[in-house]
């Protein structure tokens, strides 16, 4: 009977966010509305991603449709979906997307007080082989009443008020935090609703997995090289760590949150700032990892203390289990 109750009393994402909101009597529901528009964007992209293989099979992709328009690539389509979902929420002001060189400033009639930085479809090079991909987002709150500018998002990540990602994998999973823990929701396709499946995610204090593109080893710096060597040939009598690298940040970070371990995209001789972008990759993932009890480090400082100077700036990143990140921090401080 307990089981029946669980099955019929579903904690949908809307119900969850409304519950959270009721804990803040001063809240006017703007963040709730914004999140519901993000959820809509995620459902739309999820459905498009699921149809992508089929569309290819029956010859839709890359061809012109009845209106004579070319089919949009999924990353372009996802960007359009999120820009529209966010600006039509009436709660946003400045939007920064990986797909767009410049920020979007929402027109006055639709303007709100939140700024959203996002990567609409991260890992899109993985689409054609069916590997999990995802959307990543971070949310800042405007601290003035004037029109927004780039400066409103060129702030330390610690000032974000919420962040999350949606993973389009074997199931569609939305993980987010509004600053009081991390919760994960899975889309029930028959209901079209995200249901709370991963309440209060806590990253294990120490993990058994390291995750890095080892093909770049030739160009690594000394701390990264040493860390990976220790992972494979531990100096004490502990077992070596396992290597898992999907090459799709959302999937690699999702696994790291659930199973523990460390994910890294370090600097190297060819890419002195690594590959990943500060605003919409490094910041949201670092926020989630910290909220789950882990750490995120750039090789120099706490990742959320970074203050980007440009919208599309990159930074090296090491994130995951508290103890594992502590180890790489020690290696960096020993080489300075």
Site membership for ligand AHM, residue 275 (CB under 6 A)? yes
Q: How far is the CB of 252 from ligand AHM (least distance, A)?
A: 6
- The phi and psi torsions of 172 (rounded to 5 degrees) equal -100, 115
Pair 196, 13: CB distance under 8 Å: yes
- Show contacts with ligand AHM in window 107-166 (CB under 6 A): 119, 122-125
Task: Extract the tokens encoding 220.
Answer: 């690594």
How far apart (Å, rounded) are the C-alpha atoms in residues 86 and 229? 44
> What binding mask, one character per residue, do residues 31-70 give for ligand AHM by CB under 6 A, x or -?
----------------------------------------
Closer by beta carbon to Mg ion, 122 or else 152: 122
Query: Which one of ligand AHM, Mg ion, none interacts with residue 275, CB within 5 to 8 A by kind?
Result: ligand AHM
- Three-state DSSP state, 287: helix
From 84-92, 182-190, 246-254, 307-315, span contacting ligand AHM (CB under 6 A) = 246-254
How far apart (Å, rounded) are the C-alpha atoms in residues 50 and 172? 10
- Three-state DSSP state, 100: coil
CA distances from 158 to 140, 179, 200, 266 (A): 10, 10, 20, 21
- The phi and psi torsions of 38 (rounded to 5 degrees) equal -65, -40
- Show contacts with Mg ion in window 121-150 (CB under 5 A): 122
- Show contacts with Mg ion in window 104-123 (CB under 5 A): 119, 122
From 108-116, 201-209, 248-256, 307-315, span contacting ligand AHM (CB under 6 A) = 248-256
Signed CA dihedral, 174, 178, 183, 188: sign only: negative
Q: How far is the CB of 78 from Mg ion (least distance, A)?
A: 11
262-265 and 209-211 strand pairing? parallel
Site membership for Mg ion, residue 75 (CB under 5 A)? no
Q: How far is the CB of 249 from ligand AHM (least distance, A)?
A: 3
Query: Which one of Mg ion, ligand AHM, none interacts with residue 53, CB within 5 to 8 A by kind?
Result: none
141 contact partners, CB below 8 Å, separation of at least 6 = 113, 114, 115, 161
Site membership for ligand AHM, residue 20 (CB under 6 A)? no
Q: How far is the CB of 204 from Mg ion (least distance, A)?
A: 26
Q: How far is the CB of 177 from ligand AHM (least distance, A)?
A: 20
- The phi and psi torsions of 272 (rounded to 5 degrees) equal -65, -15
Task: Extract the tokens encoding 152.
Answer: 């409103």
Q: How far is the CB of 80 from ligand AHM (least distance, A)?
A: 17
The residues binding ligand AHM (CB under 6 A) are 98, 119, 122-125, 213, 247-249, 252, 275
């Amino acid at each position: 009977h307990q089981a029946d109750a669980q099955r019929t009393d579903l904690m949908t994402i809307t119900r969850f966010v409304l519950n959270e909101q009721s804990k803040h009597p001063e809240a006017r529901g703007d963040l709730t509305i914004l999140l519901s528009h993000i959820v809509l964007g995620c459902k739309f992209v999820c459905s498009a991603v699921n149809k992508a293989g089929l569309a290819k099979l029956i010859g839709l992709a890359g061809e012109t449709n009845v209106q004579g328009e070319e089919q949009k690539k999924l990353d372009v389509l996802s960007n359009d979906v999120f820009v529209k979902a966010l600006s039509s929420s009436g709660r946003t002001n400045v939007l920064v997307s990986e797909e767009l060189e410049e920020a979007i400033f929402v027109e006055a009639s639709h303007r709100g007080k939140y700024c959203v930085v996002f990567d609409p479809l991260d890992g899109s090079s993985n689409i054609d082989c069916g590997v999990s991909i995802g959307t990543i987002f971070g949310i800042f709150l405007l601290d003035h009443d004037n029109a927004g500018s780039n400066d409103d998002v060129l702030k330390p990540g610690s000032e974000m008020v919420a962040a999350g990602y949606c993973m389009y994998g074997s199931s569609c999973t939305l993980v987010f935090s509004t600053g009081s823990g991390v919760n994960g929701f899975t889309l029930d396709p028959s209901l079209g609703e995200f249901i709370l499946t991963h309440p209060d995610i806590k990253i294990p204090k120490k993990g058994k997995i390291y995750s890095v593109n080892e093909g770049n080893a030739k160009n690594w710096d000394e701390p990264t090289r040493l860390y990976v060597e220790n992972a494979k040939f531990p100096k004490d009598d502990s077992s070596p760590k396992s290597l898992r690298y999907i090459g799709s940040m959302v999937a690699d970070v999702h696994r790291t949150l659930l199973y523990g371990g460390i994910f890294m995209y370090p600097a190297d001789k060819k890419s002195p700032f690594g590959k990943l972008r500060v605003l919409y990759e490094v910041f949201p993932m670092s926020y989630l990892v910290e909220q789950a009890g882990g750490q995120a480090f750039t090789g120099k400082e706490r990742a959320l203390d970074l203050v980007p100077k440009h919208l599309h700036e990159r930074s090296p990143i090491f994130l995951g289990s508290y103890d594992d990140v502590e180890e790489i921090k020690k290696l960096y401080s020993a080489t300075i």
